[in-house]
């Protein structure tokens, strides 16, 4: 199974433990792109809605495309009652959007699963002149809050992190958007904090794509080891989060 498809095997766990983004990030995004009623938005791979609510609640004409069938079903259960909510279960790489154009296209830790040339050229073609491309991701730091705990966790990984298929995902170069016609490229950062109990931390780690594919008995040993390590450290692990938002515009004359 492709790494980009493994999240669909754990929709409930994914929904509960994947990080959300800061309110300040969405305020900046919505203001920058001037999103609200009368504006059309496309979210790439929304998962179970980690970045959906604030945009959907602006009253915009919200559209999403989700690769995973189980994630698609959960999105429909959560948001299907909203009259401005629309979603299709398909692959962005091959999906035909017809003549539809959008004022904003955005991705929350999704666009990096798409080959760069397709990601930037197709989003550019789908945007209206003057439209916004927004790309966000979370960088979680649990080393700074507790170096000793961090080192103990690394020992657990050294012993049990043995995925059957090596994760060889090439780093996505967000700054390359300008090579495909985008202008006004900028990067903004926002900050937050998460705290997990030992049980919650193990469950969160179990949502990482390269953890999902670890065969038994190593997967259970890894998660048990992480759980026990955090439990021994006071049953708490803290993450200092940096929420990164990349913004770019399609020129008004294109």
- Tens-digit pLDDT profile for residues 192-201: 999 999 999 9
Q: What percent of the chain has pLDDT over 90?
A: 90
Helix count and strand count (H, E) for the chain: 9, 7
* DSSP H helical ranges for 8-164: 11-17, 23-33, 53-56, 69-79, 116-126, 147-160
Reported as a pLDDT band with limits 50, 70 and 90, residue 110 is: very high
Determine phi and psi for 204, rounding to 5 degrees.
-60, -45
41 C-beta neighbours (distance < 10 Å), count: 25
What domains lie within the chain, and their CATH numbers?
A: 3-249 (3.40.50.150)
Question: What does the mean pLDDT of the chain come to?
Answer: 95
CB 85 within 8 A of CB 79: yes
- The first and second tokens of residue 81, run together, are 């009652």
What is the mean predicted confidence (pLDDT) over 99-112?
Answer: 96
Mean pLDDT of the region 134-138:
97
- Whether 182 has a pLDDT exceeding 80, the answer reads yes
Residue 1 is predicted with a pLDDT of 53
121: left (phi over 0), alpha (psi -120 to 50) or beta: alpha
The per-residue pLDDT for 135 is 98
The answer to whether residue 239 scores a pLDDT higher than 60 is yes
* Beta-bridge partner residues of 188: 245
pLDDT of residue 167: 64
Mean pLDDT, to the nearest integer, of 67-92? 97
């Amino acid at each position: 199974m492709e790494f980009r498809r493994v999240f669909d095997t754990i929709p409930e766990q994914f929904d509960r433990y994947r990080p959300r983004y800061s309110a300040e990030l969405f305020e900046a995004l919505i203001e920058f792109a001037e999103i609200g009623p009368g504006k059309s938005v496309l979210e790439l791979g929304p998962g179970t809605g980690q970045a959906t609510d604030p945009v959907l609640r602006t009253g915009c004409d919200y559209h999403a495309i989700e690769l995973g069938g189980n994630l698609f079903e959960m999105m429909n259960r959560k948001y299907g009652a909203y009259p401005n909510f629309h979603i299709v279960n398909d692959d962005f790489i091959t999906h035909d959007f017809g003549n539809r154009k959008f004022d904003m296209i955005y991705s929350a830790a999704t666009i990096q699963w798409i080959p760069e040339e397709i990601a930037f050229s197709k989003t550019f073609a789908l945007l209206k002149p003057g439209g916004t491309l927004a790309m966000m991701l979370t960088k979680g730091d649990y080393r700074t809050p507790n170096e000793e705990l961090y080192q103990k966790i690394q020992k657990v990984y050294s012993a049990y992190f043995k995925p059957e298929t090596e994760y060889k995902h090439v780093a996505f170069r967000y700054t390359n958007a300008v090579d495909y016609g985008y202008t006004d490229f900028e990067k903004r950062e926002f900050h937050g904090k998460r705290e997990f109990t030992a049980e919650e931390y193990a469950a969160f780690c179990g949502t990482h794509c390269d953890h999902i594919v670890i065969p038994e008995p190593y997967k259970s040993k890894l998660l048990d080891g992480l759980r026990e390590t955090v439990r021994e450290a006071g049953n708490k692990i803290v993450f200092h989060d940096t929420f990164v938002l990349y913004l770019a515009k399609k020129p008004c004359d294109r």
